[in-house]
Amino acid sequence: MPDFEIPEDALQERFLAASGPGGQNVNKVATACQLRCDVFRLGLSPEVYARLRALAGSRMTAAGEIVITARTHRSQEANREEARARLANLIARAHVREAKRIKTKPSRAAKARRVDAKKQRSNVKQGRGRVRPD
């Protein structure tokens, strides 16, 4: 559901010192972005909330916040963009409802073909084995 807007007041950003690319810059600048999203401020329906909770897994806290940490890029802005994109992707995936499975039944002809194949296979296997002199 791409038209879902994440309200700014539901988000909270923090920048941390990150490991990874950046050389000695890593030791001086806080480039990793930790994005926290208060799920209750999003106004999701109960079904979407349940799917989001399942998709988020350990990224969701007991207080109902999703915590996403992005640290793959060298700049704060790139990590910030990545964190927001990952959050938007997660929420979009939660809005997708799985199609219900419709039970199907094999036809009578299909059952007959299966039984015939089993009988044929049984005859092949019975033909194997020890030959007894009569």
DSSP letters for 49-106 = HHHHHHHHGGGB-TTSEEEEEE-SSSSHHHHHHHHHHHHHHHHHHHHPPPPPPPP---
> What are the tokens at 70?
């992005």
Number of domains present in the structure of the chain:
1
As a whole number, mean pLDDT of residues 109-127 equals 95
pLDDT tens-place string over residues 12-54: 898 888 776 666 776 778 888 999 999 888 888 899 999 999 9
Residue 2 reports pLDDT greater than 70: no
What is the band of 1 on the pLDDT scale with cuts at 50, 70, 90?
Answer: very low
User: Is 22 within a domain?
Assistant: yes
* Residues contacting 59, CB < 8 A, separation 6+: 66, 67, 68
What is the band of 132 on the pLDDT scale with cuts at 50, 70, 90?
Answer: confident
pLDDT at 3: 63
pLDDT at 27: 73
CATH number, domain containing residue 58: 3.30.160.20
pLDDT at 113: 97
User: Is 78 within a domain?
Assistant: yes
User: Is 23 within a domain?
Assistant: yes
User: Is 108 within a domain?
Assistant: no
User: Is 66 within a domain?
Assistant: yes
User: Is 68 within a domain?
Assistant: yes
User: Is 117 within a domain?
Assistant: no
User: Is 1 within a domain?
Assistant: no
Q: Which domain holds residue 16?
A: 8-95
